[in-house]
A and B are shown apart, each in its own frame.
Chain A
Amino acid sequence: MARENIYQEEEFPSPLMQLWYNFKKNPMVMLAFGSYLALAILAIFSPILTPFSSSQSHLEYILLPPAWNDDGNVSFLLGTDKLGRDILSMLMHGASFTFGLSFIIVIISAVIGVLIGSLSALTSGFKSSFLNHFLDVILSIPSLLLAIVIVAILGIGLSNTVLAIIIVLIPQFIHITKNEVKKEFSKDYVLASKLDGASPLRLLRYSIFPNIIERVITQATLAQSAAILDIAALGFLGLGAPSEIPEWGAMLSNGVDLFYIAPWTVYFPGLAILFTVIATNLVGEGLRHALKQRKVY
């Protein structure tokens, strides 16, 4: 980077700050980031924020259309479902299941995947080749099929779905960590500390992890959007959340029977999933772009 600064003092922002400056340049990405934070807040505080309890049924208001419809009622802004539950409250509460759980899933699988991936990057020869082939096999099984098999073993239910998706996501993290660590290992700065006598584990901890953590985070946002879609898909197929839990996919499948009478019970959960996945993807995209920009300098 050419220095054309006339000031005596020079201050270079830390890599993280550089990333943030690049990240916040794009208004679309910032909008998505705001939505992402709002969803996170909603996921944590939804029991306090919802206008009604998500399981409370208002028997006098069954299948009420949204408030802007002539038959709507403004206290049920997005209408009610076939049991008279308020859809807005269910959607808000559902954020903690679909969005919140996806967050937890990604963190757990990222930690496990990064640990296994970085340790496996230290191996070579037969062990490494065996692991490579094994990962290839696991990655070639469709994620939903793997999740179905795991649900078949453990039984149907939300917690089992979560476990299944964690297991499905781990190989992706192993794969990316392994590739990144291998790439870093061949660089000179690692060689330098190796010559200083650092053990492989120390190399990983102090030299390599700080350099690959951002790429892992980028992968994590991608994995999160996949996790949201998977939770919702399994909920929709009836393998995940039971219908009394306001998970968005399960809500959608509840509404399917009444699709032609009460289309809003299908529209809104679908829109909620779409919105959340777009926000997550845009944040990931922005991160990736910011990382690429930072590398240019």
Chain B
Amino acid sequence: MLIFTLRRLNLFIFTLIVLTALSFSLSFLFPGDALINLTGQVNATPEQRLLLIEEYKFNSNIFQQYWAYLSHLFDGDLGVSIASHLPISSEIMNLLPATIELSVVALIIAMVVGIPLGFIAAVNHEKFADNTILFVSMLGYSIPIFWLGLLAILIFSIELGWLPSAGRLSLVYEIEPITGIQFFDILMSNSEYKWQAFQDATLHIIMPACVVAMAPMTTFIRLARTSMMEVLESSYIKAAKAKGLTFWQIIHRHAIRNALVNVIRYVGLRFANLVTLAMVTEVIFSWPGIGRWLIESIFQRDYTAIQGGLLALSSFIFIVHILSDFIYAALNPLAREHNHGA
């Protein structure tokens, strides 16, 4: 386990270096002045500019510039937004939790619905249930997410009026942001209307989260189905059958656990895809997350924001990736041993 941890740590550091190098090089690739792109100081006076050049070592070679950029990053200084002149780091701290909330809830929905469906399909292999589930999963995999979102708004918000169509929380409730994750904030606040606010937040998140969850859910159906089918063909299931266990005993005690381990392995890999979907969904549902902010930044030519957002979002995804690797390794001793260059 120690070697495994060290290897992951190595990977993590490497990733951070590549990501920061990428985001640093973006300031040269984006149109306009590299220093302005990096710092976001559009209206700097010549004296301020000289100061910035000194601070970011723009008068020396590229490695020193990169090092200066890194040390700014470690101080939590990502520059200021070209559009709003607010520090990028505080913007990200406001917006990233909303995206985390949405994507984690969507991930939970996708897993809770998708994995059992996949197991059901595998148990009824090549029967009616299997074919239906596969057909539905093909449909869910192919549907364009923005279209699904619009249809969901039309049906559930406009026609039926069950769910709100935009935002995270009704403006009626005033919740002090502490962690940024709305549900925790509500529970920690001492408002009288805590439970109403909690219900309202739940109603707000249901629709966007379900829309985001649709495509990952179908992937989980497939993964769970394949992994369950593999497990059902293995020798220990045959042994259990020979022992005289009933079908459901086999499934419960032996098959599900072993099949689940294989599914968990892919959670991290699928997470990048899920965040992509969440970014589009944020635009449709006016969810105040980092995806919507990034897409708006393009129209405002806010290059500092794009750099910072890229860095924040990719590191978040990578952390989830590594966490899921750890969970998988903790559950499956076989994965800890020979896992070269993963």
Contact = CB atoms under 8 A, between A and B. Distances in A.
Interface of A: 128-129, 132-134, 136-137, 139-145, 148-149, 151-153, 155-156, 225, 229, 232-233, 236-239, 249, 252, 256, 259-260, 263, 266, 269-270, 273-274, 277-278, 281-282, 285
A134 B273 contact: no
B145 to A, nearest CB: 7
A148 B314 contact: no
Interface string B222-235: 00000000000000
25 contacts: A129-B341, A133-B11, A133-B14, A133-B341, A136-B15, A137-B14, A137-B19, A140-B272, A140-B317, A142-B317, A144-B276, A145-B279, A145-B313, A151-B298, A229-B144, A232-B146, A233-B280, A236-B146, A239-B295, A249-B144, A252-B147, A259-B154, A263-B154, A270-B150, A282-B138
Interface string B309-321: 1100110011001
B275 interface: yes
Nearest to B319: A140
B272 A142 contact: yes
Contacts of B298: 148, 151-152, 156, 239
Interface in B9-37: 11, 14-15, 18-19, 26, 29-31
A269 B147 CA distance: 9
A153 B37 CA distance: 12
Contacts of A143: 272-273, 276
B142 interface: yes
Residue with the highest number of chain A CB atoms closer than 10 Å, among B151, B272, B313, B342: B272
A148 B146 contact: no
Contacts of A129: 341
A141 B158 contact: no
B209 interface: no
B330 interface: no
A149 B283 CA distance: 17
B111 interface: no
Contacts of A249: 144, 146
A282 B303 CA distance: 40
A283 to B, nearest CB: 12
A213 to B, nearest CB: 24
Q: Decide if the interface of chain B is mainly helix, strand, loop or mixed.
A: helix
Contacts of A128: 341
A144 B276 CA distance: 6
A153 B18 CA distance: 19
Contact of B18 (A134, A225, A277): A134
B324 to A, nearest CB: 12
A237 B284 CA distance: 9
Interface string B282-310: 01000000000011011100010010011
B317 A133 contact: no
Contacts of B306: 148-149, 152
Contacts of B154: 259, 263
Contact of A153 (B26, B158, B317): B26
B280 to A, nearest CB: 6
A146 to B, nearest CB: 8
Contacts of B295: 148, 237, 239
Contacts of A260: 158
Given A144-B280, A149-B310, A270 B272 contact: no
A253 B150 CA distance: 10
Nearest to B299: A238
Q: Number of contact residues on B: which range applies?
A: 35 or more
Given A140-B15, A141-B272, A260-B158, A274 B341 contact: no
A274 B29 contact: no
Residue with the highest number of chain B CB atoms closer than 10 Å, among A143, A145, A155: A145
Residue with the highest number of chain A CB atoms closer than 10 Å, among B14, B276, B309: B276
B247 to A, nearest CB: 26
B143 interface: yes
A239 B299 CA distance: 9
Contact of A233 (B31, B141, B146): B146
Contacts of A285: 138
Given A152-B303, A239-B298, A256 B150 contact: yes
A137 B15 contact: yes
Nearest to B269: A139
Contact of B139 (A140, A256, A278): A278
Interface string B155-170: 0001000000000000
A82 B279 CA distance: 28
Contacts of A225: 142
A137 B310 CA distance: 12
Interface string B267-278: 000001101100
B133 to A, nearest CB: 14
A132 B280 contact: no
Nearest to B143: A274
Instruction: Sort A-B residue pairs by CB-CB distance and give the 4 closest, nearest first.
Output: A270-B147, A142-B276, A277-B142, A144-B276
Contact of B279 (A136, A140, A142): A142
Contacts of B314: 137, 140-142, 145
Given A133-B15, A137-B318, 5 more contacts: A151-B298, A152-B303, A153-B26, A274-B144, A281-B138
Nearest to B16: A137
B138 A270 contact: no
